[in-house]
Amino acid sequence: MLRRHPVLDPGAISQPLMTETQSTTEPPRIRILPPEVVAMIAAGEVIERPASVAKELIENSIDAGARKISVAVRGAPDRFLRVLDDGAGMTEEEAYLALRRHATSKLTTADDLERIRTLGFRGEALPTIAQVSRFTLSTRSPATLSGTQIEVAGGAILTAAPTGRAPGTTVTIADLFFNTPARRKFLRSDRGEMRAVTRVVQSYALVLPGIHFLLSFDDDEVLNLPPVEGLAARAAAIYGADLARALVPVSYANEMLEVNGLVGGPDLNRGNRDFQTFFVNGRWVQNPLLGSAVRTAYRNRMPAGRYPFAIIEIALDPRFVDVNVHPTKREIKFSREHEVYGALVRAVEAAIRELGVRLGPAAFVVPGGGRPPAGLLSGLQYSFTRDVAAPPGAGEPLAHGGLVRDAEIGTPVPPAGESGLPDAGPAARAAAAGAMIGAAWPSVPTVPGELVPLWQLHNTYILCPVKGGMLIVDQHVAHERVLYEQALAEMRANPMAGQALLFPEVLDLAPTDIDLLVEAEPCLERLGFDVRLVGPRSIAVHAVPPQVKRWERGRFLLDLVETLGRERRAGAGLEEAVAASYACHTAVRKGDPLGLAEMNQLVEDLFACEVPLACPHGRPIVVKLSLDDLDRRFGRT
């Protein structure tokens, strides 16, 4: 761990060379913080990797009022990284001060800590970076005629000289961690580090579209983002116009805070959080509360382990935010977490609803994509309800005509627990989902012996006539959803008995797969698998669930474990990952012919699901073709 470094050579720093650059009589803006303020700062390690250097330097440039910030990498981010800005620059005296620990122009008293508006405030970044690299600071304040260049290696000043340059600041870092080899071991691949640097530049470019950002690698342009008006234009420049078109603005304000941003529909998701960027008062932050609020807004429109696209900016009185809880300043704490959480859920929900409206009551149902077209199932021709007394359209569930009632969308699930984190675990989530969505769906039709006429198209889709048109069901993803929910239920409440194999199947697995299997075994057992370890790398399978039709001498289980590994690496919880991989490999496939009874069963099971419109991976399950739409296409209207 890199903690407290000895301060830079104090002799060299306290006696700046007197040159003609020292022409201003103004006192330096930078001051050493008094010890009582230093004591209140979460100090310590700031620099973990090249991207942290990029982040600190870019933040300094922003604080300095730069209009243009250029980041250049050569070879690899730890080998050479330079940040150049056209901001306020520093006088010679300030340049020396900037290299001293706890020297900052952004804070004077402890009270200032309560109303931090700048990104920096500790006066630690520059000295810390200079301590662990070969560091060159070149800077000029517009108030002086020439600039100052100071070279530092491992914390010791090597040279200092006046230099001619435009106003602004350039910081160049070479050979990061050259004197702390242990740190180097924690670096990722060059490409991974470059990705992280790119992400820093992109993130600040999103929140500050008025600043020109540039990023180059070995003199090739990676990003060139000239100033634009607003977040949407910046997002289009970064993510491409196609993706940007699929986003809706988030805009919300109450007496305490303001939320702005862009989000995508439930189909625009990823297995990691790279698609989510949060800013609080202009600072790029990481805060589990924010991610979880966004997640709640999508509720079960998206499977576990998937993360919706979201760029969220929150602005609130700095008194309510503590940015001083963590050395890298990326983690923050809200003093009124519940309000922030609730507001963010409402803000994102309103945006998702907007997305539903924008897509309109068109032919296609975007699964859970906000407001579903009115009356999606409200007109099921073959009443999917046992309650014959209630004609279609008149019953309670049918009145909602969709996934979730608007009133329900508008009511955030309140955060539970002391931590303020709302996630009360998968079971509670599932229960909440059941209460919320289950109610909005018609109950399951089962009139024994009575089959609804359904058609199978190309052994892939099930066509299901309803009053207002026709539903097209993707048989594979529909079955996947059904099995996924059944598997979760079996793991949590009703374990199933398996079907014994005539001869136990002995399989050899890679060591990592064995680990996965051992971890998942209790879940698999509840699904009906009987798997026993018979050697360091061998298992014997004695029984499998009756639903498994494609055992293929164990290939099934090997495929399942492979998918399981992927799901886990993508961040899915154990049960969800097991359920998803089991469902994925057990479900009927595209191309499997289905009989009428099987199709009836599937459609029936599907509509009994908690989330009948999106598969565990977020793909649509049902598409509706409305009569109105057909009429339009045939020119009847």
Contact residues for ligand ADP (CB under 6 A)?
A: 29-30, 56, 60-61, 64, 85, 87-90, 98, 103-106, 120-126, 169
What residue number has its CB nearest to Mg ion? Answer: 120
Which residue has tokens 């296409």?
A: 633
Binding of residue 125 to Mg ion (CB under 5 A): yes
Of 210 and 546, nearer to ligand ADP (C-beta) is 210
324 interacts with Mg ion by CB under 5 A: no
- The CB-of-102 to ligand ADP minimum distance in angstroms stands at 9
Residue 89 CB contacts under 8 Å (≥ 6 apart), including other chains = 64, 139, 140, 141, 142, 147, 167, 168, 169
CB of 435 to ligand ADP, least distance (A): 48
Show the 3-state SS of 29-50: CCEECCHHHHCCCCCCCCCCCH
103 or 621, CB closer to Mg ion? 103
Residue 171 or 622: the one with the smaller Cβ distance to Mg ion is 171
CB nearer to Mg ion: pick between 169 and 600: 169
Q: Which one of ligand ADP, Mg ion, none is in contact with 90 (Cβ closer than 5 to 8 A by kind)?
A: ligand ADP
Give the shortest CB-510-to-ligand ADP separation in angstroms. Answer: 47
Residue 104, binding choice from Mg ion, ligand ADP, none, Cβ under 5 to 8 Å by partner class = ligand ADP
- Report the residue number, 57 or 613, with the smaller CB distance to ligand ADP: 57
Q: 69 or 561, CB closer to Mg ion?
A: 69
Residue 277, token pair as written in the block: 């960027």
Shorter beta-carbon distance to ligand ADP: residue 64 or 194: 64
Shortest Å distance, C-beta 104 to Mg ion: 8
- CB nearer to ligand ADP: pick between 57 and 350: 57
Question: Smallest gap, in angstroms, from Cβ of residue 281 to ligand ADP?
Answer: 15
Q: Which stretch binds Mg ion (CB under 5 A): 56-64, 151-159, 376-384, 505-513?
A: 56-64
- Minimum distance between the CB of residue 418 and ligand ADP, rounded to whole angstroms? 33
Bridge partner residues of 589 (DSSP)? none
Q: How far apart are CA 156 and CA 28, in angstroms?
A: 22
What would the two tokens of residue 32 be? 């050493």
Residues in contact with Mg ion, counted by CB under 5 A, come to a total of: 3
- Strand partners for 228: none
Distance CA 147, CA 23 (A): 11
Rounded distance between C-alpha atoms, residue 164 and residue 576, angstroms: 61
Contacts of 605 (CB under 8 A, 6+ apart): 444, 482
Q: In sequence order, what are the residues at sequence separation of 6 or more whose Cβ sits closer than 8 angstroms to the Cβ of residue 285?
A: 278, 279, 330, 331, 332
Instruction: State yes or no: residue 583 binds Mg ion (CB under 5 A).
Output: no
Contact 577, 539 (CB under 8 A): no
Considering only 57-65, 221-229, 234-242, 560-568, which stretch makes contact with Mg ion by CB under 5 A? Answer: 57-65
Q: Which is nearer to ligand ADP, 93 or 349 (CB)?
A: 93
Closest CA to 612 of 602, 599, 622: 622
- Shortest spacing between CB 123 and Mg ion, in angstroms: 7
Please report whether residue 120 would count as binding Mg ion according to CB under 5 A: yes
Measured in degrees and rounded to the nearest 5, phi and psi for residue 143 equal -75, -10
- 258's torsion region: left (phi>0), alpha (psi -120 to 50) or beta? beta
125 versus 430: smaller Cβ distance to ligand ADP: 125
- Provide, rounded to whole angstroms, the least separation between the CB of residue 107 and Mg ion: 11
Chosen from ligand ADP, Mg ion, none, partner binding at 585 (C-beta under 5 to 8 Å by type): none
- Measured from the CB atom, is 84 or 491 closer to Mg ion? 84
Closest approach, Cβ 122 to ligand ADP, in A, equals: 4
DSSP codes, 136-174: EEEEE-TTSSSEEEEEEETTEEEEEEEE---SEEEEEEE
616 binds, among ligand ADP, Mg ion, none (CB under 5 to 8 A by kind): none
Q: Among Mg ion, ligand ADP, none, what does residue 122 contact (CB within 5–8 Å per kind)?
A: ligand ADP
- DSSP string spanning 489-546? HHHHT-----EEEEEEEEEE--HHHHHHHHHHHHHHHHHT-EEEE-SSSEEEEEEE-T
Min CB(107)–ligand ADP separation in Å: 7
Using CB under 5 A as the binding rule, whether residue 60 contacts Mg ion is answered as: yes
Q: Which residues on neighbouring strands pair with residue 311, listed in sequence order?
A: 262, 277
Do the Cβ atoms of 190 and 50 come closer than 8 Å?
A: no
Q: Give the nearest distance from C-beta 60 to Mg ion in angstroms.
A: 4
Helix axes 596-607, 475-492, angle to 10 degrees: 60
Partner whose binding site includes residue 153, from Mg ion, ligand ADP, none (CB under 5 to 8 Å by kind): none
- Can you spell out the DSSP letters for 532-561? EE-SSSEEEEEEE-TT----GGGHHHHHHH
Residues of this chain that bind Mg ion (CB under 5 A): 60, 120, 125
